[in-house]
Chain A
Amino acid sequence: MYKFRLHGLVADMWPLIRIMQMTGFFLLDYHEDMSFGWTSIRAGYAGSISGLMVIQFALIFINLMKQSDDVNDLTANTITVLFFVHSLVKFFYFALRRGKFYRTLATWNNANSHPLFSENHSRHHATAVGSMRRLVMYVGIGIIISGFAWTIITFVGDSVHEIPDPENANETIFEEVPRLMLRSWYPWNALSGGGYVVSFVIQILWLFLALSHAMMMDTMFCCWLIYTCQQLVHLKEIMKPLMELSASLDTLVPHSAELFRAVSATTNNPITSGDGDGIRAIYSNQHDFSNFRLNTGALANINSGSVGPNGLTKKQEVLVRSAIKYWVERHKHVVRFVSNIGDTYGSALLLHMLISTVTLTLLAYQATKIEAANVYACTVIGYLVYTLAQVFLFCFFGNRLIEESSSVMEAAYSCQWYDGSEEAKTFIQIVCQQCQKAMSISGAKFFTVSLDLFASVLGAVVTYFMVLVQLN
């Protein structure tokens, strides 16, 4: 019987995963009841939502083809189509690469731990979880506000569009179109009555689902990056106590009190990942650890066991080495996680940037036709701000990852390594050497996700706008 246990990254990202399941992503795992009946019901739900998305998108596309005579209509419809291509692409990207997503989400199921650093770790873990949930909340609020704004602006202004006058080819008349959020073709009459209500309901549902599909995937990516950054901050912070621990050549207990905050014996059971030997084997009970909890200044029982080359006892040396091993293994784990993230999501970012580039070019063209502060201007500016905000979201967190990972080396250098043991110095040296290169997420190796990318996108939009204004 499959026993469902909520642990690791899935537990931390639980609200987001539930929202994704509710909005119809093919996220069929992580349920209590994984029996065939329930799984097929969930698969059917996801399938029907995907059908709805595809059909409505196809109807919008049909409308685009039908209205392709007029340039203004063509441009407007193309922008709408491109805007919602994101949602479809992300939805099916997830469905096709489910395995990679599951693997990335399972990366932190077996994290190593060390009793000396578990307090610091749990503090940073809590910060990460808090930030992730806050981000999900803000993005959710943003989606709801955007959806409502879109709906409200539909009811402002005239719901008409220009077509050439059938009688007189040189003039244009205004023909009425249905007052709906999206220009779409329906096989029934959507102008009034029952057809209108049905179309409206379908569209409002579709609008919210499409906005969620696009943003929730990006939010998941950003949550992963938040978690990684907090892990790196944790590693940077424990560098100093680690150095002080190894610098305890005399009998003085290092004065970093946080090292020795009381570790409860019941919680924080370390789940070791294979390196279960080391401390647990030597310190058979908590009482042994209590030797290191004395802040009275004297390290008791140093004469039990021979004194090693650095003046440390055997036990102390093993403790120092286990702490160093914890650090290195945790850092390698983080590197593995980042490469998993890049593997999983890199191509999605590339597709996003390709589509966004075309969208932003067309939006720049639309922006040149703004004359006054009317509905048209509001919609163009709204599209522009939303598209740029999508790009800014993942560029911001990508940049934070680069900054945090490149500052590990600075943190390693800034602790008191010159007073430490030779082993600690070698450790710092290797860390400095390795962490010179920052960890970054690349869009399938074409570009690096950072604020430079956002600045270049913004610059490109401004350039296109200026060029198109000239041609006008």
Chain B
Amino acid sequence: MDPRTSEVYMYTQLKISRVLGIWPYTEQTMLWKKILSKTVFYSMLGIKFCTLLAVSYHIFLKWGHLPDPYETIVVLTAHFNTIFGMLYIPIRISKFLLLLKTMDDHFIIPTDSTQQHLFEETMRSASFVTKMFLGSALSTGVSYAVIPFTAYTNGTMNHPLPFHAALPFDITQTSSYWMAYFLLEISMFTLCINGSVNCDFFVSMIIKTTCQFRFLQRMIADIKEEAIKRNKQKQQDKSKKASHTDGTQSEISILSLTDTNKDDKLTTKEDDKTHGEELDCEFLQRLSECVKYHQLLLQFVHDLKTAASPFMLFQVLIYVIFLCMNVLGMSTVPVLSSEFANTLIFVICVLSLLLLLCWYGNELTIQSLEVAQAAYECDWCDGSSSAKRSLVMIMSRAQKPVKLTAWKFFDVDLKMFTAVLRATYSYYQVLHEVYTE
């Protein structure tokens, strides 16, 4: 059985989400896989709640003289981010299943060579993005695992943990120390991975949609060629049919041919006219197909926006907090220490993830505007006035760009990225003045 279009496009993301228990399996999968993924999901959620409680207890115990307030805030925010992300898709799963169904029904998997290379390019960039997301998550997790040991070797702490938390048991015993360490480290890994998997899901959907817009541009630019091709095909089919049925009447047709020699000029003109009309008809037909596809893509983006925009807003706010707090943390420790390296890795990862999100949001806007350009590039000069009027409408709709928003407040594009950077810097400056002596 051919795999569904959505499975082809979103293969990696669906696989990862299914393993983590966020995305449901199809009915055909074996029961043990489903049970395993659900176990993974609930155990990760449970671990996160435990560590959240531990961190909150630590804050409560040491209120007023927290040893490392910025790191604690970052860890707390990361907990909320991940819990929100883990619950977001399962709660709104029906909307996302509808989106994937639309993908199944309407997205194109190209067969000819011109579109094939676009498709491959898209899949390559999507896999690059996924690798970036997972790589950042893993590197952050690993750095949080390794850093305590550098602190240990420096002799500053006896029982260093990945992040500050108050656990109900005594961690000075070796066995309980290692238990605490592993608990917190697993939690850290799952924080990073879950935090990035959801964002990766949405970014990859955006990339695939961008690809579809590029297909649409090719379709529109090649309307005339496609119409000519179809017309030719039709003529060939007609003549084939005629040759089959008129095999017996060939003598009659030869006679009729010789009879109408005088009216040759007239008949050729009429032939041309009908040929032109048929071509127009094919042109219009192809144009309506392109318009239908355009409408479907616009509807898809609208649904994607409704499904994903609250998540985007939350994610952007979280990233601002991460950046701010980490830069503050970096400014309080000496350069070239291990904590500095730790927070530097975190900052670089968050910046690159935010950049990827904003970049592909911007890319979607640009590609939707290019549709108007493609409509202009098609061979419309010889078309009928009806076709030209339809092209005008495609162009006027396409000139209004398709924007992904962070829930009505911001558009997700490169302007937002620069705004986030500027805001982070100004908050950092102010907080640095206020809270450091």
Contacts and interface: CB of A to CB of B under 8 A. Distances in A.
Interface of A: 399, 403, 406, 409-410, 413-414, 417-419, 422, 425-426, 428-429, 432-433, 436, 451-452, 455, 459, 463, 466-467, 469-470
Contacts of B409: 451-452, 455
A413 B400 CA distance: 12
Contacts of B396: 409, 429, 432-433, 436
Nearest to B289: A418
Contact of B433 (A413, A426, A432, A470): A470
B127 to A, nearest CB: 33
18 contacts: A399-B408, A406-B400, A409-B400, A410-B400, A413-B397, A414-B299, A418-B292, A422-B386, A422-B389, A429-B393, A429-B396, A432-B397, A451-B409, A455-B409, A463-B426, A466-B434, A470-B430, A470-B433
A335 to B, nearest CB: 19
B393 A428 contact: yes
Given A451-B409, A470-B434, A425 B389 contact: yes
Question: What 7 A-B pairs are tightest by C-beta distance, nearest first?
Answer: A466-B430, A418-B288, A413-B397, A432-B396, A414-B295, A470-B433, A418-B291
A466 B409 CA distance: 22
Contacts of B390: 418, 425
B408 A425 contact: no
Contacts of A459: 423
Given A414-B298, A425-B386, A436 B408 contact: no
A467 B430 contact: yes
B389 A413 contact: no
Nearest to B290: A418
B408 A426 contact: no
Nearest to A466: B430
Interface in B276-335: 284, 287-288, 291-292, 295, 298-299, 302
A422 B385 CA distance: 10
Contacts of A428: 393
A469 B427 CA distance: 12
Given A419-B288, A429-B396, A432-B396, A410 B430 contact: no
Interface in B402-437: 408-410, 423, 426-427, 430-431, 433-434
A432 B434 contact: no
B397 A409 contact: yes
Nearest to A418: B288
B34 to A, nearest CB: 38
B295 A413 contact: yes
A265 B340 CA distance: 79
Contacts of B284: 418
B392 interface: yes
B118 to A, nearest CB: 25
Contacts of B298: 410, 413-414
Nearest to B392: A429
A414 B400 CA distance: 14
Chain A residues touching B, majority SS: helix
B397 A425 contact: no
Contacts of B410: 455
Contacts of A417: 393
- Residue from A409, A413, A455, A459 having most chain B Cβ neighbours under 10 A: A413
A469 B433 CA distance: 10
Contacts, number: 61
B427 A466 contact: yes
Candidate in A426, A429, A467 with the most chain B CB atoms within 10 angstroms:
A429
Contacts of B430: 466-467, 469-470
Contacts of B291: 418
A418 B298 CA distance: 17
A328 to B, nearest CB: 17
Nearest to A454: B409
B314 to A, nearest CB: 15
A399 B427 CA distance: 28
B389 A426 contact: yes
Given A413-B295, A422-B386, A451-B408, A436 B400 contact: yes
A463 B429 CA distance: 11
Contacts of A452: 409
A307 B247 CA distance: 42
A436 B299 CA distance: 18
B389 A418 contact: no
Nearest to A417: B393
A469 B390 CA distance: 60
A28 B270 CA distance: 77
Nearest to A426: B389
Contacts of B397: 409-410, 413, 432
Interface in B234-265: none
Nearest to B408: A451
Contacts of B295: 413-414
Scoring B291, B396, B399, B410 by chain A CB atoms within 10 A of each residue's CB, the highest score goes to B396
A403 B306 CA distance: 13
Nearest to A450: B408
A403 B409 CA distance: 12
B402 to A, nearest CB: 10
A413 B299 contact: no
B228 to A, nearest CB: 20
A427 to B, nearest CB: 11
Contact of A429 (B389, B400, B433): B389
Contacts of A467: 430
Contacts of A425: 386, 389-390, 393
A435 to B, nearest CB: 10
A452 to B, nearest CB: 8
Interface string B90-114: 0000000000000000000000000
A467 B431 CA distance: 10
Contacts of B399: 436
Contacts of A436: 396, 399-400
Nearest to B402: A410
B104 to A, nearest CB: 20
A469 B429 CA distance: 12
Contacts of A406: 400
Contact of A413 (B287, B288, B393, B427): B393
A419 B292 CA distance: 11
Contacts of B302: 410
Given A410-B400, A466-B434, A470-B434, 7 more contacts: A409-B400, A418-B288, A425-B389, A436-B400, A452-B409, A466-B427, A467-B430
A362 to B, nearest CB: 19
A452 B389 CA distance: 36
A345 B390 CA distance: 40
A31 to B, nearest CB: 41
Contacts of B434: 466, 469-470
